[in-house]
Chains A and B, each alone.
Chain A
């Protein structure tokens, strides 16, 4: 049986307001999404990546990856996402993501955090990345003298559950 090999990309959206994202509002949410912008869905991410492929790699690029590309997970709170592509053409998707400069009128850039062969590796990488972000959040809260609003264990648990709940 011929095996269809895939590559899983863990990526992060970086917006202009990203450094402020860890300033918590009074409602102790996981991390504050700037309330003035609407949350991005997997569909938004998928369409912006597909448009970038069409522009930069043409009909050929879209034809190569259309059957295999899928945005499996995207969290609008942390702006982390996981995407699956076929192994032979992952460089087209990665290149197109590098060229993306805006999504839904917000200027952004995409940073690829991990490229793996299985979803498991990406999940582990995402959990580690979130862990670092949560600890950074905790540190920032401590510096402000505001130690009670960030419950590290609870946030760890939340993020882990969300990530492991990703479909195959």
Chain B
């Protein structure tokens, strides 16, 4: 009987074959971005993903020219379609375009006309002195997080330490 048990044990402990994949150069880079309004008075206007794309193109053309405005940006998620949303989105770019896009987002600021529908045509209206400017809001981008993998954007460990400090 003991012999049988040993044989049973030997089949349970037999090693399984493992397959290992190593990714050394990830192709894409993911950024979590936030659109800030200055001054942040309510109610904040809705910004469609088309307006967002127009803002990207305008920002890239200003800093890096036409050649950079052709950078492929995928808008994976965007929360800005309704009033007072949190204006946080997730975008994806090629790894080699990361520094160009990130520096552009950091440099960029523009004015958004909120009285009219914030469609692509109203993005970037210039503030003119002497006119009523209450409907114009300055916007800028803030890069909240970045990672070569989408899973990396789920959690931000800085949020955890904030909780600790409150206590």
Contacts and interface: CB of A to CB of B under 8 A. Distances in A.
A57 interface: yes
Interface in A50-68: 53-61
A57 B67 CA distance: 6
Most chain-A Cβ atoms within 10 A of its Cβ — which of B61, B65, B67?
Answer: B65
A54 B66 CA distance: 9
Contacts of A95: 67
B98 interface: no
Classify the interface of chain B: helix, strand, loop or mixed. Answer: helix
Contacts, number: 28
Interface of A: 53-61, 95
B23 to A, nearest CB: 30
Contact of A55 (B60, B63, B66): B66
Interface string B100-139: 0000000000000000000000000000000000000000
B62 interface: yes
Interface residues of B, number: 9
Classify the interface of chain A: helix, strand, loop or mixed. Answer: helix
Nearest to A58: B65
Contacts of B66: 55-56
Interface string B54-74: 000000111111111000000
Contacts of A53: 65
A96 B9 CA distance: 72
16 contacts: A53-B65, A55-B66, A56-B67, A57-B65, A57-B67, A58-B62, A58-B64, A58-B65, A58-B68, A59-B62, A59-B63, A59-B64, A60-B64, A60-B65, A60-B68, A61-B65
Nearest to B63: A58
A135 to B, nearest CB: 39
Interface string B62-98: 1111111000000000000000000000000000000
B67 A60 contact: no
Contacts of B61: 58
A61 B63 CA distance: 9
